[in-house]
Amino acid sequence: MIEPRVFMSHNIFKELYKAKLMFPELAVKKVQSGFTIGGSLGLNYPPALGSALCRRYRELENVRIIQSLSVMPQPFMEQPEMKGCFFTQSTFFGRAEREGAKLGLAGFDPEHMSMSSKMTSRNHHINIYWTTVSSMDRHGFMTVGGGSVHDLIYIKAADMIMVEVNENLPRFIGDALLHIRDVDCVVENTAPLFQMPVRKVSEKDRTIGRYVAELVEDGATIQLGIGSIPNAVCSELLQKKDLGVHTEMLHDGMVDLYEAGAITNRKKTYYPGRMTAAFGLGTDKLYNFMHENFGIYMQDSSVNADEVTVGKNYKQVSINTALTVDLSGQICSESLGTVQYSGTGGALDYTRGARRSEGGKAIMALYSTVKNDTVSTITAVLPPGAAVTIPRADVHYIITEYGIANLQSKTLTERARALISIAHPDFRKELEHEARRLGIL
């Protein structure tokens, strides 16, 4: 009979955990005016610590909170009386940041996903790093929230580390690890995990999804975001074979592809046999799939989204969405004129990585019109104030519900003709007229 293994060190780590455990109100007492708090995004936000900190707002001034893509309510970006007490700096806006910016409680920091934590830690002293983590294992390790995005660099840079343990969080495999020895404060919370709303797929989405699927070969490695267009793309990829995943974000659609046998990761050339990602955001279907799944490796975005890393995959296909594209191929996927809507994220990182990849393809998809077909998203020039997310020199494929335009190795005139051909028919003559007026055609 085999004797059960006994891990004597487990008791040591449990005692260490108990010694650092405290109420959120006590932990946030360590925050002082002028401090910078480094966080991350999505599931990594610690709601109990955030709420406790907000209750101290009358005692504090000029506390900067660096994070991105907020998906949970955060009082320090919602309540006007917090102005002057807290300010959120974000490289990718979610709804909370958009509303916070209107109140002067949040501001946008233009930066690529692969570089954001490096640049932030160089230019800001991180007094405290806070995050949500999984329950501690018997070896004293906890895994960070939805994965490792900005976290490893912030962990190394911070003077103090606060964690909010949530037993509902899955435990991930990869870089997103914290040991109880390295933690200064522990609080506990059993809040339910954020559930990403599933966006309804329209017939327009399905058409775009079919065009995207035409370009994804069997054995390709994919990067895919979230939304109705990516959801449609996932549906159209279900019959593919031996797809791999190297992506910034895992979501429910990738679980469907894996369970259908479309994703096997067998043909991947970087971490073969495993999905590689920086974070996950979806529903319990995804979180249960990710829990202790050795077929997934979570990487810090400074590695995962680096274009050299992305380019190591054979047939890497990046699939992202855009808001506007002009006739030269410049793409805006983050702002509505001068109003910041989302962020650069990993769009350019992955576009450049896919172009580096042998057999790789960089795809940007968008509807041909918005506002009930009254506004064309393909324009002669970008609207005033629109951010250039993807420069024209980095563009490969553009897809609308009217077709595919391959802009690679095309002249400006050839690009304009290709883009006009996939614009909404109601706007093609107008685009041709503008292009001739500007000397493009």
Q: What is the pLDDT of residues 176-226, one digit of tens each?
A: 899 999 999 999 999 999 999 988 899 999 999 999 999 999 999 999 988
Write the pLDDT tens digit of every residue in 395-411.
999 999 999 999 999 99
Q: How many residues does the chain have?
A: 441
The predicted structure's pLDDT at residue 1: 45
Q: Read out DSSP for 168-212?
A: TSPPP-BS-EEEGGG-SEEEE--PPPP-PPPPPPPHHHHHHHHHH
Catalytic residue among 248, 307, 334, 401: 248
Task: Decide yes or no: CATH 3.40.1080.20 for domain 203-437.
Answer: yes
Q: Give start-end residues of each CATH 3.40.1080.10 domain in the chain.
A: 15-188
Active site includes 248? yes
- The predicted pLDDT at position 5 comes to 53
- Give CA–CA dist 395/404, Å, rounded: 13
Residues of the chain within CATH 3.40.1080.20 domain(s) are 203-437
Q: Which amino acid is at 259?
A: E
| pLDDT at residue number 304 | 96
Describe the crossing of helices 252-259 and 228-236 by its angle, rounded to 10 degrees. Answer: 10
275: which strand partners? 296
Cβ atoms 233, 212 nearer than 8 A:
yes
Q: Whole-model pTM?
A: 0.94
Beta carbons within 8 Å of 6's beta carbon, 6+ residues apart: none
Closest alpha carbon to 47 in 163, 159, 160, 141: 163
Pair of tokens at residue 71: 């998906």
Q: Which residues of the chain have pLDDT under 50?
A: 1-2
Distance of alpha carbon 179 from the chain centroid: 25
Do the beta carbons of residue 268 and residue 312 sit within 8 Å? no
Q: Distance (Å, rounded) from C-alpha 389 to C-alpha 142?
A: 35
With respect to CATH, is domain 15-188 assigned 3.40.1080.10? yes
* pLDDT of the residue at 7: 53
